[in-house]
Structure 1
Amino acid sequence: MADLSIDFVGIKSPNPFWLASAPPTDKAYNVERAFEAGWGGVVWKTLGEDPAAVNVSSRYSAIYDSYGEVSGFNNIELITDRSLEVNLREIEAVKKSWPDRALVVSLMVPCEEQAWKTIVKEVEKTGADGLELNFGCPHGMPERGMGAAVGQVPEYVEQVARWCKMYCKMPVIVKLTPNITDIRFPARAAKRGGADAVSLINTINSITGIDLDNMVARPIVDGKSTHGGYCGPAVKPIALSMTSEIARDPETMGLPISGIGGISNWRDAAEFISLGAGCVQVCTAAMIYGFRIVEEMKTGLANWMDSKGFETIEDFRGLAVPNTTDWKYLNMNYKVVASIDEDKCIGCGRCYIGCEDTSHQAIDLKPQADGTNKFEIIEEECVGCNLCQITCPVDDCITMERRDVGQPYMNWTQDPRNPHREVTEESTHEA
């Protein structure tokens, strides 16, 4: 059986599944239930200075898929609305009761050295395993000069990280905001400031929808609304992309990463780990389905690892990073074309409609004598875009098959069709 235990920047836990800083980790009752269910760690909901934040009602909204499942989740909740003293007392008690679980404390205070010095020293007394600096909250707190207002300024990220490393001995994780043009800049700043790791992504600025009867966005607070933080399965592609950017950036390569964003099952977790994450954090899935989902996550990941011959998380962590590159280094001479398995085809025509109306007119529709339709690929017109495969409702009915064009690897920096090509030693390698 695969060993799921991890050591993330000196923080040990029995598995890589941690609950993210959010409502599920706001108090001892929740955290202990999570540990009983099998979670390897938690990041305690963000603490701040007293007096505690005051929240509004209501706080959540959602986007649903065609099956009625939540695909995107929006919240306008702030950091903890309980006193610092109560939180610190509970953190200390929980860590004593569960010494084998990771307990990281999320923090957010004004961008002042004394404020950070005071709170990190208080947290250190609890025996917690580490800190997560919340530089990502996109609503409410930025209006007070905190959260994303710090995370969007690399100089602030570096400065606060340095303060925290100066005044405590715990590992410091910097939580990054996705509401920025280039995620690499704050990640580099965190590393310069001495941070032990980064976690990402925090939530994305969003309005999930409008109540057209009352002309107000959701969630509704006495007839008004505001933008909130978007999370859930819909944000996973963005989170994976940003994770890969940090993992392969020469300036941050090797910087430990805690992956966050739409992780709902073991496969999602494996994808983040393959891009370099040393642990993963979950929020929305736990809020929708409850803490027991971690059992399926652990079992599924372990079974998959066994099937692949991976004994530990480290055996496959980062394996997808070398295969992620810039567009300009992709092979221009690689060619695939679509192939339709007639035995599996149900004749729905979705591939034909998509290709005929919006793509390359590479599928021929042939009416049959019995009133059905047959679809054939026009290979000389097919560019291998995958649209037909994506729209097909039948698994493996349409596959993409490689064609040998008789040409060696050539990327865009080498392509004669590129008027700005620069053939250099770097551009001739298969990136």
Structure 2
Amino acid sequence: MADLSIEFAGIKAPNPFWLASAPPTDKAYNVERAFEAGWGGVVWKTLGEDPAAVNVSSRYSAVFDANGEVSGFNNIELITDRSLEVNLREIEAVKKSWPDRAVVVSLMVQCEEESWKKIVKQVEQTGADGLELNFGCPHGMPERGMGAAVGQVPEYVEMVTRWCKTYSRLPVIVKLTPNITDIRVAARAAKTGGADAVSLINTINSITGIDLDDMVARPIVDGKSTHGGYCGPAVKPIALNMVGEIARDPQTYGLPISGIGGIGNWRDAAEFIALGSGSVQVCTAAMVYGFRIVKEMKSGLSNWMDSKGYESIQDFQGLAVPNTTDWKYLNMNYKVVAKIDQDKCTGCGRCYIGCEDTSHQAIDIKSHDDGTNSFEVIDAKCVGCNLCEISCPIEGCIKMEVQDTGLEPMNWTEDPRNPYRDAS
């Protein structure tokens, strides 16, 4: 049976599944229930200075898929609205009761050295395993000079990280904002400041929809609304890209990464780990389905690892990183074309419609006397774009087959058609 235990930035945990800093980790009651369910760690909901933040009602909205499941989740909730003293007391009690679980504490205070010095020392006294610096909150807190207002300025990221490393012996994880042009810049700043790890992504600026009767965005607070932080399955592709950017950047290579963003099952977690993450954090899935989802996550990941011969998380961590590159280094002479399995084809025509209307007119339609249609790919016109494979509702009906071009691999920097080849 695969070993799911990890050591992330010096923090040990029985498995890589941690609850992210959010409502599920707001108090001891929640955290203890999470540990009872089997979570390997938590990042305690962000602490701040007293007086505590004041939240509004309502706070959440969502985007749903065709099956009615939550695909995107939006929130305008702020950091903890409980006193610092109460939180610190509960963190200490939980860590004593659960010494084998990772307890990391998220922090956000004014961008002043004394404020950070004071709070990191207070947290250190609780026996917590690490600190996570919240430089990503996109709503409410940036207006006060915190959250994303820090994370979007590399100099601030480096400065605050260095303060925390100066005044605390605990591992420091910097939580990065995705609301930035190049995630690598902030990650580099965190590393320069001495960060032991980074976590990403925090939530994305969003408005999930408009109530067209009352003409106000959701969630609605007395007839008004504001942008919030977007998370859930819809943000996973964005998160994976940003994790991969940091994992393959020469300046941040080797910096531990805690992956966050749309993780709802074991496969999601495995993908983040394959792109370099050493732990994964979950929020939306736990809020929608409850803490017990971690049981399937653990068993699913363990079973998959067994099937692949991976004995530990480290055996496949980062294996996808070398295969992730810049577009200009892809092989221009690699070619695939679509092939339709006529035995599986139901004649729905979705492949034909998509290709004919929006792509390369590479699928031929044949009408039969019985009123049915069949479809064939025109190899000479097919560019291997995958649209037909993606739009086909029958699994395995359309596959992309590799063609032997007889040409040696050649990337765009070597391609004579590239007018800037010499500069590349």
Which residue pairs with 1:37 in the alignment? 37
Are 1:237 and 2:237 an aligned pair? yes
Residue by residue over 1:31-67, the C-alpha shift from the partner in whole angstroms, topping out at 9 and shown as x without a partner, is 0000000000000000000000000000000000000
Q: CA RMSD in A?
A: 0.6
Are 1:16 and 2:16 an aligned pair? yes
Q: What is the letter of the counterpart of residue 133 of structure 1? A: L
Which residue pairs with 1:393 in the alignment? 393
Secondary structure at the aligned position of 1:395 is classed as coil
Unaligned runs of 5+ in 2: none
Secondary structure at the aligned position of 2:235 is classed as helix
Q: Separation in 2 of the partners of 1:289 and 1:362?
A: 43
Q: Separation in 2 of the partners of 1:101 and 1:351?
A: 50
Are 1:353 and 2:353 an aligned pair? yes
Q: Separation in 2 of the partners of 1:239 and 1:368?
A: 47
Q: Separation in 1 of the partners of 2:374 and 2:315?
A: 46
Q: How does 1:233-312 map to 2 (within 5 A)?
A: 233-312=233-312
Which residue pairs with 2:375 in the alignment? 375
Are 1:332 and 2:332 an aligned pair? yes
Secondary structure at the aligned position of 2:366 is classed as strand
Report the identity percentage. 84
Unaligned runs of 5+ in 1: none
Which residue pairs with 2:313 in the alignment? 313
Are 1:141 and 2:141 an aligned pair? yes
Secondary structure at the aligned position of 1:121 is classed as helix
Q: What is the letter of the counterpart of residue 224 of structure 1? A: K
1:422 Cα deviation from its structure 2 partner: 2.4
1:144 Cα deviation from its structure 2 partner: 0.2
Q: Separation in 1 of the partners of 2:141 and 2:319?
A: 37
Residue by residue over 1:109-160, the C-alpha shift from the partner in whole angstroms, topping out at 9 and shown as x without a partner, is 0000000000000000000000000000000000000000000000000000
Are 1:181 and 2:187 an aligned pair? no
Q: What is the letter of the counterpart of residue 205 of structure 1? A: N
Which residue pairs with 1:323 in the alignment? 323
Secondary structure at the aligned position of 2:2 is classed as coil
Which residue pairs with 1:220 in the alignment? 220
Residue by residue over 1:380-403, the C-alpha shift from the partner in whole angstroms, topping out at 9 and shown as x without a partner, is 000000000000000000000000
The count of residues paired between Structure 1 and Structure 2 equals: 424
1:233 Cα deviation from its structure 2 partner: 0.1
Q: Separation in 1 of the partners of 2:369 and 2:14?
A: 63
Secondary structure at the aligned position of 2:240 is classed as helix
Secondary structure at the aligned position of 1:380 is classed as coil
Q: Separation in 1 of the partners of 2:298 and 2:99?
A: 20
Q: Separation in 2 of the partners of 1:95 and 1:87?
A: 12
1:21 Cα deviation from its structure 2 partner: 0.0
Q: How does 1:69-148 map to 2 (within 5 A)?
A: 69-148=69-148
Q: Separation in 2 of the partners of 1:211 and 1:218?
A: 7
Write out the 4+ residue segments of structure 1 that deviate beyond 3 Å after TM superposition. none
Q: Separation in 2 of the partners of 1:8 and 1:421?
A: 42
